[in-house]
Amino acid sequence: MKIAVLSGKGGTGKTTISTNLAKAMGWNYVDCDVEEPNGFIFLNPKVIKTEQVSIPVPEIDPSKCIGCQKCVNICQFNALAWANKDVLLFDKLCHGCGACSLVCGYGAISEVDREIGHIDVGNDEQITCMRGTLNIGEPMAVPIIRDLKKMIGNEKTIIDCSPGSTCSVVAAIEGVDYAVLVTEPTAFGLHDLKIAIELVRTMNIPFGIIINRGSHEKDLIEEHCEKEKINIIGKVMFDKDVAVLYSKGKLLVEHEKYKELFLHIGKKVEGEIACSLL
């Protein structure tokens, strides 16, 4: 069982919601926001294992290359070029698809591993925490997310996604049972929320909304959700306690009142998943 937590954009409180939900529900936590994974700051697990993530990139042996340029032409990503009678590799653009070595009829291309990031596995008292980290300057997040997803298996897991609706998010939410969309009650929040809703709907994933930094008044997110018959599964108020806990790098569930709230949200989500399976 997997729940993905996403947000229209950064800074909405996605990590706050996902770490607290994981802790309250006792589910494992996986940080797929590989460009800026900061869930471990709050969960603070003991890291027990680190694995490198690499992709296979071509290495060209100039003594075997006859310059047919088949490899250059097959590469969909412009990672290979032909300049001054040499094949030139732009390794940051290479997706590791292997097409070039397949078409080279002269055995001039072999594949070598290039490290793009790593995965940490850690233990909290009750839950397992994982995070992927992309090396600085690396553009390809999806291979790390794929590896993370493989490691999750069938465990009950909360997946913290990257902000926005990028291909990293698509890779992270593929095959999840439920999506939690975190938003803020502002016009920008609503705008980004609509894009996120479209994404999960297109991918046929049942979902619900959590309003972060909410107030006691009815806000524009609630109005929109009412009109569109979208389920709001929780609202985290904007108050001083939240700010203080957050600034100390502490989980909200360490505070009794929020523990209640996240337990309640967790129950609701589990109920929603059960309903969606009927």
Return the range that interacts with another protein (CB under 8 A); candidates 52-60, 74-82, 144-152, 174-182: 74-82
Count other Cβ atoms within 10 Å, centred on residue 28. 20
Which one of 50, 64, 77, 115 is in contact with another protein (CB under 8 A)?
77
Which one of 25, 30, 79, 190 is in contact with another protein (CB under 8 A)?
79
Structural contact between residues 110 and 71, judged by C-beta atoms closer than 8 angstroms: no
Q: Which residues pair with 171 in a beta bridge?
A: none
Which one of 36, 61, 86, 115 is in contact with another protein (CB under 8 A)?
86
User: Whole-number minimum distance, CB 170 to another protein, in Å?
Assistant: 15
Of 156, 266, 258, 162, the residue nearest 208 (C-alpha): 266
Q: Taking CB within 5 to 8 Å according to partner kind, which of another protein, ligand SF4, none is near residue 26?
A: none
Cα 103 to Cα 69, 89, 98, 136, distances in angstroms: 10, 16, 9, 32
Site for another protein in 54-73 (CB under 8 A): 72
Which one of 46, 63, 84, 228 is in contact with another protein (CB under 8 A)?
84
Q: Does 170 bind another protein (CB under 8 A)?
A: no
CA atoms of 223 and 216, how far apart (whole Å): 14
User: Whole-number minimum distance, CB 162 to ligand SF4, in Å?
Assistant: 22
Q: Taking CB within 5 to 8 Å according to partner kind, which of ligand SF4, another protein, none is near residue 164?
A: none
Q: What are phi and psi of 12, to 5 degrees?
A: -85, -20
